[in-house]
Structure 1
């Protein structure tokens, strides 16, 4: 899951990024409405976490702009404004959920997962391809009918390749989707994840062609 976080407090933002990463959520953190508009125009996100007290625009104004472009995007307001009038206004303006600071990161992660499930109209996404069955959200995986342990990055990588539906995915795009914009990435990190997946699932799990990138080695079940 990729989430856009709009939070002008750098310390809080870094804490949310680190905390949600432990729950399998990739977070792209911006500090202003202008940066949020640019990120939303360039990238696809599964949810938006929005502070209301932004330096350049009110958060509710930004919410209105997002709703005009992408009415189905799950939006969770995360703010210090705790009055019931603020909560009601936020929900009436189009937010799907409302949390007040301070908050528990575990609850934030759980609410985001629930919002995305609800919006997508499913209990849990399941990817079936060849001998592999994968639940990206839970991280559970089965290979040839037996449970197999995959790291969070390995699960995310397989899910990204599956979402490409047989198309080649360049390594730069995979790195960006796995780690988020601005995160420091080791030069060999992607190759390590692919090596580990092939070791666990077989060499045919991921195909590669120089100049094209990578794709899932099995066809998705229809």
Structure 2
């Protein structure tokens, strides 16, 4: 295998993602076939959309027969958070050359959390390490999706509660962030921003407003973040 050292290092750190993505992909595959859509639709979506929550929401789009404009606007608002944190990895991806396009496509919340938590290993070729980390994470999602569609095609299954795996995964990654940086200020800012958004805006605008409040908090406490970081 090319760049075996980078692959093994990426596989080791991606194991928590595997446990979350496989279950969530499984749930997505089950839901697709439960809506009586063809199994390959779920697989194609996980290969070419790979957007987690948006894939689940897309099933509602299909069943509600929303127009393209409604789907477009909803999708933008759901995933606009990635335009904020994606900027912070441009420096990491600067020398990845042709791999950059896939790294940008495959950048999910969980992959971003790993990229920003882990310290760089000078013994690894970073661009291949990033590539394998991104590829493995997507492969877990695709594998879970395929298993879910196959399982759901033959056996009826209650998917209630499976979506909580994503929340649990975020909790684990947040704890890893804290263990790596020992800085509680970002978590305080995030918690206060979420609370302010919750009490001041409708639920359908909660995510984007929480992100805006968090960004404002980061600018206000920039010196404290830099000093503690």
**By the TM > 0.5 criterion, same fold?**
no
By percentage of residues, which structure has more strand? 1
Greater relative contact order, per chain length (Cα 8 Å cut-off, separation 6+): 2
By percentage of residues, which structure has more helix? 2
What TM-score comes out, normalization by structure 2 length?
Answer: 0.31
